[in-house]
Amino acid sequence: MRHSFLCTQILRHFSLSIATSSCLWAGLENVRLHDAVGSPPLMYANGFSIAPDSSTVAFRANFASPTLQEFFLVPITGGTPVPANLNAPGATNGELDATAATGHFYGQGSIFASLVELNQNGSPKSAIQAAGTTVAAQNVNISPASGIVDVLDAPARNQIAYVYSFSGANSVRGQEVGTPSPNLLSPSGLNVTDQAISPDGNYLITSGTGGSVLREAVYSTLLDEDSGVIDVALTGAPVLGGGITDFKISDDSASVVIRGAISAISVEELYACPIDGSGPLVALVSSPASVTDYAISPDGTKVVYLRKVGIGTPELYVKPITGGTAVKLNGTLPSGANGISNFAITADSQRVVYLADQTTVGVNELFVTMMDGTGNTKLNSALVRSISAFKLSPEGGFAIYRADPDAVGRHELFHVAVTGGTVTRQHPPLGIGRTVRNDFLIPSEQHIAFRGDISGIPGQVQLYVARAANPAITRMDTISIAAGDVDSFEAAPDGNTLVYLADVENDTSVEVHAAWGVPEITPLVNRWGQIGTPVINQTFTISDVETPANNLIVTTSSSNTAVVAETGISVTGIGSSRTISITPVSGATGSTIITVQVSDGTYVATRTFSVIRYSSEYWNWLISHFGLTVITNETLKTSIWGPNADSDGDDRENYVEYALGSSPTTAENFLNPITIAIADVSGTSYARISHRIRTNETMLTYRLNVSTNLQDWSTTETGWVNAGTVSSSTIDANFSQIERQLSRSTTIEPRQFVALEIIWGVDE
């Protein structure tokens, strides 16, 4: 009889409790970002934009002059608007043409670049300006028959970048803010048709004709401040009649994915390569398949795309960005289905959520699949009509979708975890005829913002915020007239503030407002130490837009009073700076979550952090291997001495090394903790599993997992391992060797696979 056993890699299990902070939109703080509207009333054409650092709002309006549209900058908390355009009313060199003005914030602060059309000498011109507290001209020396046609983002540089048109050809130019002389950024001789700057601000990617390739190609330009620009052609010339459709840059600025008819006309192929051209151009999808949409995973390792052949139905696939085998992600589509209409990748790059008529032809529903194509699950509850839109939360934990489930003309929002489960309406039930608009936002993992006629006059569009999976809503606008509506809104990049346009006080005017949640607490970090040692204090800052810091109320609590009692927490300090001190219960081992809340009397903000008390055995083990200086350095915890760290690079975390008695500072190429033997019991063969256990640590648990196919594992020992220990022998003062017998004979189950799971029972 042949016996087949496998000692698998150790299953490392760490009981992890992440202490996350939350910015609480607990209620309404609302301010108009300008003075009251005069007569004739204020009007807007292109709305507003918010600075990357969430400090400033730029809006475009005939605020100072009834006939002239201008740009203005104002703090997001309100104040006096500052003109942000080069040509104020009455300037001798022309005025703004309202049909041409657009604007962008730049960098990490509140520099604002605006593109306007100047009426100079009767001939339309374009110019760039930058505005902070004062307005400075950028590139005003423009030749006849030329101009600036677009403004680009350059998030990592204090530089203006723009598309410059001259005699029908486009190039990309840039210059430092406040300097008048531009530099050519795109390849010399290239007529640019599309352009983007990488998220890290180091590369300009362009497509166009000319340059070193006669037909349309894609180029990468390194924006090096010391050595100048360096151009690399990422693609060769497409087939005659082909061309570049578009391209996308990965979030890590490492790769570019290019779509176009490159090797064959009339198809949309997909290619990828390193952003610096250091590697080959890899064909991800080539003729005869055609790509209708695609996205790069946030971690930059995969490309998800919709692919069809001929007039076939588009279906969803994923492939490594470096090439390889494609995996189909959607489930089987019924005959006549339209296929996938939209998809999104979760922030952890583990799942893809998509809309498709996968169950009923013509009815788009929400599905999720793991990135390897497994676990395809429908997320939405029963509905008759298609879901019109969905969005994922910033961290990818849940999806919000908009649907009219009972087909009575009211579109509502629904919350569901991306792992599936209960579907929750994200607001109170709506009456017939009321609806939520399609432009809902998810500013943070805790909140949803949306427009709709939820609670006011039917047809009046108002602005609301709700907690995720909680139907209770807070109205954020201050509309005071029956005909008033919220026209549009955006969330600030920090997720704390909503800026919106609404005719609040006059039906013929549009005003710009901001609303935010208060108060705020700076983040708190986890604390840890040996039993009997004090916990280091930490300082934090509290603030509120309207309430003085001395008037804010600070309260604390402990989730596990056996580790830290309520009386063991104290907060000292005045004003915005406070210090929290922790005195754990003497001799306690384990962890607790400390909650700190700050209230202004109406609204509450919350931060949490963990306090971990290691046993003296584990603490002394850390000291013996890393030294006290290292393990009291918080910045080294994740990489060197923490339980999940693997400083020696042997793929075993520190707590596993501690549990098995191996060294965390010396890499062992192979460590198999399991010994397997066959025992004959009254003529029947059984497997006996031996492994060592640490006997002087109560926070460790050793558990056998068993499988017959390496896919389905028994995660508990019930039914597979005989109760009790067959034998136990002492190794030394710290370890024993135990032997346990599996309950199923090798005759009945000839294929048995065993893995040792080690559980570290300290939440951190």
Pairing of strands 751-760, 4-7: parallel
Using an 8 Å Cβ cutoff, are 105 and 48 in contact? no
More confident residue, 698 or 582: 582
Q: What are the E-state strand segments in 139-276?
A: 146-152, 159-166, 169-176, 183-184, 190-197, 203-210, 213-224, 228-233, 243-249, 255-261, 269-274
DSSP percent split of the chain into helix, strand, coil, nearest 5: 5, 45, 50
Check pLDDT > 70 for residue 279. yes
Check pLDDT > 50 for residue 729. yes
pLDDT digits (tens, 9 = 90+) for 697-708: 888 888 888 888
Using an 8 Å Cβ cutoff, are 148 and 135 in contact? no
More confident residue, 44 or 761: 761
Check pLDDT > 50 for residue 88. no
Averaged pLDDT for residues 376-389: 94
Given this model, what pLDDT does residue 6 score? 31
Q: Say which range, 284-288, 425-429, 704-708, has the weakest mean pLDDT.
A: 704-708
Q: Say which range, 126-130, 522-526, 537-541, has the weakest mean pLDDT.
A: 126-130
Averaged pLDDT for residues 204-212: 84
Maximum pairwise Cα distance, the chain: 107
Alpha carbon of 631 to those of 635, 651, 728: distances in Å? 9, 20, 34
Beta bridge partners, 48, equal 59
Q: Which of 207, 211, 230, 205 is nearest to 154 (CA)?
A: 205
Residue 378: both structure tokens together: 């429908």
The rounded percent of the chain whose pLDDT value lies above 70 is 80
Using an 8 Å Cβ cutoff, are 206 and 192 in contact? yes
Task: Select from 2.60.40, 1.10.3120, 1.10.10, 1.10.3470 the CATH code of 4-14+670-760.
Answer: 2.60.40
Using an 8 Å Cβ cutoff, are 502 and 587 in contact? no
Those residues with Cβ within 8 angstroms of residue 122's Cβ, 6 or more apart along the chain or in another chain: none
More confident residue, 126 or 65: 65
Averaged pLDDT for residues 640-660: 90
Given this model, what pLDDT does residue 218 score? 94
Q: Is the dihedral of CA 425, 605, 78, 60 positive or negative?
A: negative
Q: Say which range, 239-243, 308-312, 501-505, has the weakest mean pLDDT.
A: 239-243
Given this model, what pLDDT does residue 511 score? 86
Q: Which of 360-374, 402-416, 472-486 has the highest mean pLDDT?
A: 360-374
What backbone phi and psi angles, to 5 degrees, belong to 657? Answer: -60, -40
With 0-12 / 13-18 / 19 or more C-beta atoms within 10 angstroms meaning exposed / middle / buried, residue 84 is: buried
More confident residue, 215 or 434: 434
Beta bridge partners, 244, equal 260
Given this model, what pLDDT does residue 586 score? 85
Check pLDDT > 80 for residue 8. no
Pairing of strands 751-760, 11-14: parallel
Using an 8 Å Cβ cutoff, are 736 and 758 in contact? no
Q: pLDDT confidence of 304, banded at 50, 70, 90?
A: very high
Given this model, what pLDDT does residue 443 score? 86
Check pLDDT > 90 for residue 397. yes
Our CA dihedral for 380, 383, 387, 388, rounded to 10 degrees, sits at -150
What backbone phi and psi angles, to 5 degrees, belong to 635? Answer: -70, -15
Given this model, what pLDDT does residue 3 score? 26
Output the CA angle 686-691-695, nearest 5 degrees.
Answer: 130
Given this model, what pLDDT does residue 9 score? 33
Structural element, H or E, at residue 346: none
Given this model, what pLDDT does residue 23 score? 35
Coil, strand, or helix at residue 26?
Answer: coil
Given this model, what pLDDT does residue 599 score? 86
Q: How far apart are CA 244 and CA 255, in angstroms?
A: 17
Residue 376: both structure tokens together: 């395809």
pTM over 0.85: no
Residues of 367-386 as b/e, b for ≥16 C-beta within 10 angstroms? Answer: bbbebebeebeebbeebebb
Given this model, what pLDDT does residue 420 score? 95
Q: pLDDT confidence of 14, banded at 50, 70, 90?
A: very low
Coil, strand, or helix at residue 567?
Answer: helix
More confident residue, 232 or 17: 232
The string of DSSP letters for 51-95 reads -TTSSEEEEEEEEEETTEEEEEEEETT----EE-SSS-TT-TT--
Those residues with Cβ within 8 angstroms of residue 412's Cβ, 6 or more apart along the chain or in another chain: 402, 403, 404, 405, 425, 426, 427, 429, 430, 435, 436
Alpha carbon of 187 to those of 171, 174, 183, 280, 540: distances in Å? 8, 13, 11, 20, 49
Q: How many CA atoms lie within 13 A of 183 on its CB side?
A: 14
More confident residue, 528 or 723: 528
Check pLDDT > 60 for residue 132. no
Q: How far apart are CA 189 and CA 210, in angstroms?
A: 6
Residue 758 is which amino acid?
I
Residue 321: both structure tokens together: 């960005």
Check pLDDT > 70 for residue 18. no
Q: pLDDT confidence of 24, banded at 50, 70, 90?
A: very low
Q: Which of 486, 397, 381, 399 is nearest to 436 (CA)?
A: 486
Averaged pLDDT for residues 231-249: 85
Q: pLDDT confidence of 467, banded at 50, 70, 90?
A: confident
Given this model, what pLDDT does residue 38 score? 54
Given this model, what pLDDT does residue 93 score? 43
Given this model, what pLDDT does residue 28 score? 52
Which residue ranges make up each domain of the chain?
Answer: 4-14+670-760
End-to-end CA distance of the chain: 47
More confident residue, 690 or 613: 690
More confident residue, 488 or 2: 488
Q: How far apart are CA 370 and CA 368, in angstroms?
A: 7
Could you count the other beta carbons within 10 Å of the beta carbon of residue 18? 9
Averaged pLDDT for residues 717-729: 76
Given this model, what pLDDT does residue 11 score? 33
Check pLDDT > 90 for residue 121. no
Q: What is the 3-state secondary structure (H, E, C) of 401-415?
A: EEECCCCCCCCEEEE
Q: How far apart are CA 598 and CA 610, in angstroms?
A: 18
Q: How far apart are CA 301 and CA 320, in angstroms?
A: 6
Using an 8 Å Cβ cutoff, are 385 and 364 in contact? no
> How high does pLDDT run on average in the chain?
82
Using an 8 Å Cβ cutoff, are 62 and 49 in contact? no
